[in-house]
Structure 1
């Protein structure tokens, strides 16, 4: 597991690409695990600040209950459509997975019972259409391999 700061330090160019894709819109999609182990997807917002990825969850939400029971999460950046006539100009999408670590409620925060989390990252990836537009490019980072770049036809 790694903090976002470790990924930024290891590969600043890749980290900037990931962050720009997550910052492309407010709403991200988070996957959590239900009590029976099946997946649940929900909307969320997140922040990249002070070398960490953080997000919150409303009191009593199913997402919050899921995370407190099993903190493994996966989060997908906002989805942007590739340009139909120039798919190679699509910036791509980003995904990350890791463990949500609960943090204390910020001082003065009025949201009693809400959950505040940082993500210890196990893996992060960016996928986009290559140039020429006949292949996908997958850039990724994980604790075992570090940064990698692969293509797929």
Structure 2
């Protein structure tokens, strides 16, 4: 990802780095408590403690499937007002199965609403545009 460095882009580069290092406490600290989570199945409010508890389980599953750390491919930010930014992102997930099959590359889109009004920026809304588990099943990475 190459673009002009802004405070919001640095925030997401930091998030991507923390994610690649599996630094769950640091990742979770970038979210408001609670935050809104939306995906193709609906919307719900998530407490950061619940989020922190779910992340290791997701990591174990993705590790078992041969997933490499997610790479932030693209970021488009829109300032909504003096405090909030909308960040549209594209992430690349690379799966290198442990068997001899070919690596699979998947691009997923997500949108974040970021509160920049505090000293530390916080994600107040996260929207996954695709059902990643269904994509993994459709691509034969995750058994049905």
Give the TM-score taking structure 2 as reference length. 0.33
Structure showing greater Rg: 1
Return the TM-score normalized by structure 1.
0.32
